[in-house]
Amino acid sequence: MSPVIDCTSEQGLDQGISAAAEAVRRGEVVVLPTDTVYGVGVDAFASDAVAAVLTAKGRGREMPLPVLVPNPQTVDGLAADIPAYARDLIGAFWPGPLTLVLRAQSSLMWDLGETNGTVALRMPRNDTALRLLSEVGPMAVTSANTSGQPAATTVLEAATQLGSAVSVYLDAGPSVSALASTILDCTHQIPVILRAGAVSAAKIQEVLGDVELGG
């Protein structure tokens, strides 16, 4: 049975981050808490591991995995042609539940699925997730559930659905929010909401100012 590590104490957090980081570096799959629901994730640059997540979820390549980053500075290494309004949104909402779809750097050697040259990036507001991301770098992370089932808000819910497909489960208690992140397409002059979520359109528009929000 895959280990479930209680990360609610400092000692448990240290143990959990160490075990999860080792698993990620081996190309294995881990479950981690985020500021929305629990996520299932791998090294973003480990193509076989990304494929394993898609298989575990029963999800096709036409739904590519988003990438979680440890800090805003990471974005410039992963994305190109970043609009000024996207940087404004990063400054206003990161860390937090806003995912930005941007043009991917063409030189990156990764395979997240059928991305059409884009990458969906987010910096989560969760200490456990940020500790792990700081250790291993960008991770391809999606909700910890099988396709068609509700997103997991506890480790038990994640383990019930994903079982032994996951090497390490990090348990930081129930999710603080069952709302998924808002997804915003920032690959054009005008940003477009692809999925409504935890950050409202009204709050986004406040930051955008004169830039019109689509969707």
pLDDT surpassing 80 at residue 178: no
In a domain, 63, yes or no: yes
pLDDT surpassing 90 at residue 116: no
Average pLDDT value for the chain: 94
In a domain, 83, yes or no: yes
Closest CA to 147 of 30, 44, 54: 54
In a domain, 10, yes or no: yes
The residue type of 135 is E
Whole-number pLDDT of residue 172: 96
Instruction: Give pLDDT tens digits for 50-105.
Output: 999 988 888 888 888 999 999 999 999 999 999 999 999 999 999 999 999 999 99
Listing DSSP states for 112-130 in one string gives -SS-TTEEEEE--S-HHHH
Whole-number pLDDT of residue 56: 87
Q: How many domains does the structure of the chain reveal?
A: 1
Instruction: Give pLDDT tens digits for 133-170.
Output: 999 999 999 999 998 898 899 999 999 999 999 999 99
Domain that includes residue 114, residue range: 4-208
pLDDT surpassing 90 at residue 215: no
In a domain, 65, yes or no: yes
Environment class of residue 67 by beta-carbon count within 10 Å: exposed (0-12), middle (13-18) or buried (19+)? Answer: buried
In a domain, 213, yes or no: no
CATH number at 10 reads 3.90.870.10
Whole-number pLDDT of residue 176: 80
pLDDT surpassing 90 at residue 124: yes
Whole-number pLDDT of residue 127: 95
Q: pTM value?
A: 0.94
**Higher-confidence residue: 203 or 1?**
203
In a domain, 20, yes or no: yes
Please tell me whether residue 182 adopts helix, strand or coil conformation. Answer: strand
In a domain, 31, yes or no: yes
In a domain, 215, yes or no: no
Closest CA to 170 of 31, 22, 29: 31
Cα–Cα distance between 51 and 98 in angstroms, integer? 25
